[in-house]
Structure 1
Amino acid sequence: MTDTRIDRRMSKLKQEGRPALVTYLMAGDPDYENSLAIMRGLPKAGSDIIELGMPFSDPMADGPAIQAAGLRALKAGQTLATTLAMAADFRQQDDETPIVLMGYYNPIYIYGVDRFLADAKASGIDGLIVVDLPPEMDEELCIPALKAGINFIRLATPTTDDKRLPKVLENTSGFVYYVSMTGITGSALTDTSKVGAAVARIKGHTDLPVCVGFGVKTAEQARAIGASADGVVVGTAIVNAVANVIGPDGRLTANPAEAVATLVEGLSQGVRRSRLAPAQ
């Protein structure tokens, strides 16, 4: 597989000696135009890789905040086709920042795998995280995606033991996403001291970068996780920043792109400080 934007970005950050800040937003939340504005503001705010959520009506692994974001997006008319269109719109101004689509297999299956991969590639998509496709189903999407030049990023969790890990990593590319706790997204953050040991264990099985997510909400947490991980993933905090500017009547009370950019700038500073020696 040829170098992707993800490979190039992770390699560049490794040379710079700092972890990546990976930011998740739900495509189409609160609507297409505002969502695109949020996405366009992320790189300037300090995001290194963008995860674009594909809204789905039955998101079993998502916490309440991301579920609510997905429902808002669906209500506003977001589809898999418009999510790809959003990536293509973003690419008109930014051809460097990697985009990873994250979600469930059902919308892709309905869209048609071959058509989806062709359209995703044409829209500038670099990677996929499909949470409900285990390695045993790699022929469904993972192998075709790799052949199309799109990274297939797999999740590892605290319950993924050393016997299971090689299977999980078998066709993974781009990076490994370590979910630092069991349960749904947006739960309380795990003990950051355990993250280092978990990252080291995964690295014993692969040369791929390891990005850590689930529960990161503050610059301090981002700094702590970035000290041992190759990347820090933030999702629920960003989705909440959008939800917080939506009034009870559904109207915006402030600019969501500005709210998200302010949050991401702080997280970015935390990530950038993660490899600095602590002040004496």
Structure 2
Amino acid sequence: MTPLQNLFESLRGQNRKALMPFLTTGDPNIDTTEAVVAAARRAGADLCEIGVPYSDPIADGPVIQASYQRALDAGFKLQHVWDLGQHLTDNADVAAMPRVTMVSYSIIYRIGMAKYVEQAMQAGYCGAIVPDLLVEEADEFSKVCQEKGFDLIQLVTPTTTRDRQCRIAELSSGFLYYVSVTGITGERTALPADLVDNVGWLREQTELPICIGFGISGPETAAQLAPVSDGLIVGSAIVRRVAAAVAQANESGTDPVKAAADEAGEFCRSLRSAIDAA
């Protein structure tokens, strides 16, 4: 079994839902990213999605786009993702927590499918979320991932046809990423009325865990979605808080790494409490 399969089996046995924060590698630097991941883990995060900055993000809203640009402006290279993975593996607070990359398929294709998987696994990652990999072109990469025991996580959106949803599920492993809203990433105060029914239908078609992302702004929306999901992915709300904490610390002359970690930890703790209560 892969680390993700083990995690979700364990969570089911405990009747718990996964909390998965998203963070951008190197925003504003690797030390901050590592400290925030560790703080999220201590606050109850079960796994973590590590964003690979890319100059042309597919579905990311302004908050995550800005974080990618900050990292790129600071000189981000793919090696930084591997360095971060190694740092997290060496960090006792985080070492046991599964970690996956959120990465454009163009990056994987450019360096080679097998090579990407090998480098990711060597750095301690157990899977990849690939938002721009078309299901018609996913067979080869899916096979590479299966051979290596590396999970390929793909996205299902509200506009994905049901036949296509089933095909995506067949070529995915670890979990399915269900996009809660039509559009880009970002915080929302209201979620679609048909979300519960759509996730319920998909659950009948696959044995994969279903994690919901896009639009989760805080404990209230987390509590709404926890009963119908196997896990919740929270990105923009965390990335925004980290950026604000860093900016404020820089202005006041305090430690920006600690400020970012404290802010992210407090927010993740509130999400964890809401998810567990729901």
Q: What's the TM-score once normalised by structure 1's chain length?
A: 0.91
User: Which residue of structure 2 aligns with residue 9 of structure 1?
Assistant: 7
User: Which residue of structure 2 aligns with residue 219 of structure 1?
Assistant: 219
Q: How does 1:111-260 map to 2 (within 5 A)?
A: 111-191=111-191, 193-247=193-247, 254=256, 255-260=259-264
How far did residue 78 of structure 1 move?
2.1
- In structure 2, give the amino acid aligned to 1:268: R
2:245 and 2:215 map into 1 onto residues whose CA distance is 21
Contact 2:186/2:236, CA 8 A, preserved across alignment: yes
Instruction: Determine which of 258, 262, 267 is the counterpart of 2:266.
Output: 262
Contact 1:181/1:190, CA 8 A, preserved across alignment: no
- Specify the SS of the correspondent of 1:43: helix
- In structure 2, give the amino acid aligned to 1:229: S
How far did residue 140 of structure 1 move?
4.4
- Specify the SS of the correspondent of 1:227: helix
Q: How does 1:39-54 map to 2 (within 5 A)?
A: 39-54=37-52
- In structure 1, give the amino acid aligned to 2:274: G
2:32 and 2:162 map into 1 onto residues whose CA distance is 43
5+ long unaligned stretches in structure 2:
none
- In structure 2, give the amino acid aligned to 1:266: S
Contact 1:192/1:224, CA 8 A, preserved across alignment: no
1:9 and 1:35 map into 2 onto residues whose CA distance is 23
- Specify the SS of the correspondent of 2:76: coil
Distance 1:30 1:81, change over 3 A: same
- In structure 2, give the amino acid aligned to 1:74: L
- Specify the SS of the correspondent of 1:182: coil
- In structure 1, give the amino acid aligned to 2:83: A
How far did residue 102 of structure 1 move?
0.4
String of CA shifts for 1:151-200, please: whole Å, max 9, x gaps.
11111111122222111111111111110011010052553653321211
User: Which residue of structure 2 aligns with residue 34 of structure 1?
Assistant: 32
Contact 1:195/1:225, CA 8 A, preserved across alignment: no
| Paired residues, number | 272
1:163 and 1:118 map into 2 onto residues whose CA distance is 32
Contact 1:156/1:177, CA 8 A, preserved across alignment: yes
How far did residue 259 of structure 1 move?
1.1
Instruction: Determine which of 268, 272, 276 is the counterpart of 2:276.
Output: 272
1:191 and 1:248 map into 2 onto residues whose CA distance is 31
Contact 1:195/1:228, CA 8 A, preserved across alignment: no
Contact 1:176/1:209, CA 8 A, preserved across alignment: yes
How far did residue 52 of structure 1 move?
0.3
User: Which residue of structure 2 aligns with residue 59 of structure 1?
Assistant: 57
How far did residue 147 of structure 1 move?
1.3
1:174 and 1:190 map into 2 onto residues whose CA distance is 28
String of CA shifts for 1:91-112, please: whole Å, max 9, x gaps.
1123321101002112222333
5+ long unaligned stretches in structure 1:
275-280
How far did residue 41 of structure 1 move?
1.7
